[in-house]
Structure 1
């Protein structure tokens, strides 16, 4: 087992602190307003790139309805067989869509030379658990089945997710460990939501942190699971991966956490659990960062974090 732990000094990076005022904190006390703000911010910040091709895909859910996905592929592709990253956006399970992580997916496709498939999973509370995880499962199966037609290698598939998408990616890895016909070779968890128990220090103490506050994390779980499901005992580990009894089947994992993030402690604890179970873990804890700070990719620290992700993808998905 190889485990790498990188921890930085603890203070908010001044460059990030100056930038975060451009990204208003999204709260969940008014869901319609939160969705509108997320859409507006994503639209205002998305940058298209001539060197990355973007294709709209339509798969199929298990109930026969259409499942929208988006493929990002370097324009330098030239029909070589590419590894593929299934990337799952964040948004507290209740906001976001294919538009949410355009910049990030473009960056991965360009710099890591991977095909990236984003998933338009159904959102809570209209579609509570397990709708989102089922959509991601169906997307993964569709991508593996259609990989040759997409110019992708079905034996080199990675999973990745940001925030709530990290929860879904971790749940996907847990599910795949019990379905050997689908074997992701790498998992990338970025500031992930993982633990519905809401018992860590950071998820209760960080009431005024940039981008994400504790109150939002406390609100998202009942929205995702439903009021009844939120109180269920035991809670399915596909809903709350921190409750999984066996994580030894996880693929090698990159974990990104930040000091000033309510989700900090559950990410660090999960990385420790994976390592203790024999899973190779590459943990990078940014002592000067906050939740999803790598979205500020014009900053030095944001680019450093993205570069770590790109290099990890390149290593894990090399032929």
Structure 2
């Protein structure tokens, strides 16, 4: 059983802080965020007052994500299916498939890992992103890393990474059943899922997954599983889209990762939305920035998967 902490052990949230010059201008709260920030904070206070992670997961539930204004009708544009698959440790995990009723045969597989700080999260935590992707008839989405209990703290690192990789390999081996091309794969993730995007690439060392990545030295494998920024090389990685909020605690990591990719010749597209928080398209779906977020997301997918 994992229990929620009532205080932070390592830092003071109210400590004085002066933004640094390079990206500090991005961290001033936007008017839209200022308006809703108190209610967001109150929601988190309620969740963090619960005694343990199972309680938080129960409150969060797994209702279908609500599409933003102007978004597609998820119940007409997309069909879904739950799929149980085995993992290396014998635990069955549940994947969720999203696809258009008119999906093309041999579609591009978009394999997505969900967020939730490696301990929370559910199928629909990124439901909006999955629906948008699946409305592209050239893409079939498989949403991974939703295991029956294989989240931290009950199942600590590297279980989430192992589950992600096992799910990806299962998709490749069952490509005909899924209707996807096993050699055309987009790997995607948000929040904690964004960190989980890279280990499946690096895990291909010694595996028959040449379309995903090349070989990397095993001596550095554990380090890069903790953070992709610890990798010795990024050469040969596929084109990458990174989007983040300007007040997001992960903002500077996004810039650092983009810089590391560019240095090794990877095609990178980075967009930072000033004054907006972590997960802003969900908490502020009606802002123009959230509209731009999904426009860029859809355009990126269309560029590499067609329409």
Q: TM-score range by the shorter chain?
A: 0.7 to 0.9
Is the Cα contact below 8 Å between 2:241 and 2:270 reproduced in 1? yes
Judge conservation of contact 1:89–1:101 (CA < 8 Å) in 2: yes
Deviation track 1:23-81 (CA, whole Å, cap 9, x = no partner) reads 4554796675565456545656723522210011111101333121000001222x533
C-alpha change, 1:16 and 1:300, in structure 2 (3 Å) is farther
Q: Secondary structure at the match of 1:310?
A: helix
Runs of 4 or more above 3 Å deviation: 9-13, 15-45, 176-180
Determine whether 1:264 maps to 2:292: no
Matched residue SS, 2:76: coil
Query: 2:8 is matched with which residue?
Result: none
**1:309, CA displacement in angstroms?**
1.0
* Farther off after superposition, 303-312 or 37-46: 37-46
Matching residue of 2:123 = 98
- Is the contact made by 1:255 and 1:284 (CA closer than 8 Å) also made in structure 2? yes
Alignment equivalent of 1:128, drawn from 156, 162, 176: 156
**Which residue does 2:92 correspond to in 1?**
66
Q: Which residue is 1:143 aligned to? A: 171
Q: Does 1:86 align with 2:111?
A: yes
**In the alignment, what sits opposite 2:294?**
306
Question: Aligned to 1:93, what secondary structure does the other structure show?
Answer: coil
In terms of fraction of residues, the more strand-rich structure is 1
Q: 1:155 aligns to what?
A: 183
Contact 1:177 1:250 in 2 (8 A): no
The reply to whether residue 13 of structure 1 matches residue 30 of structure 2 is: yes
TM-score by length of 2: 0.76
Maintained 8 Å contact 1:42/1:100: no
Computed over aligned residues only, the root mean square deviation of the Cα atoms, in angstroms, reads 3.0
Matched, 1:55 2:43: no
TM-score (norm 1): 0.73
Distance 1:131 1:316 in 2: 30
Matches within 5 A, 1:1-319: 10=26, 11-19=28-36, 23-24=40-41, 26=44, 32=51, 36-37=55-56, 40-41=59-60, 43=62, 46-47=65-66, 48-77=74-103, 79-111=104-136, 113-119=138-144, 120-121=146-147, 122-176=150-204, 179=207, 181-184=209-212, 236-295=223-282, 296-318=284-306
Give CA deviations for 1:278-299 in whole Å, capped at 9, x if unaligned.
1111111212322111223333
User: Is contact 1:73–1:114 with CA below 8 Å preserved after alignment?
Assistant: yes
RCO comparison, higher one (Cα < 8 Å, 6+): 1
Residues 175 and 32 from structure 1, CA distance in 2 versus in 1: closer, same or farther, beyond 3 angstroms?
A: farther
Please say which of residues 244-253 and 122-131 is displaced more in the overlay.
244-253
Cα shift readout 1:256-284 (whole Å, capped 9, x = no counterpart): 12210111111111110011011111111
Number of residue-to-residue matches in the alignment: 265
Runs of at least 5 residues in structure 2 that lack an aligned partner in the other structure: 1-22, 67-73, 214-219
CA distance in 1, matches of 2:176, 2:38: 44
SS at match of 2:99: strand
8 Å Cα contact 1:235-1:243 kept in structure 2: no
Local SS of the residue matching 2:209: coil
Structure 1 unmatched runs, 5+: 1-6, 186-232
Q: CA deviation at 1:128?
A: 0.9
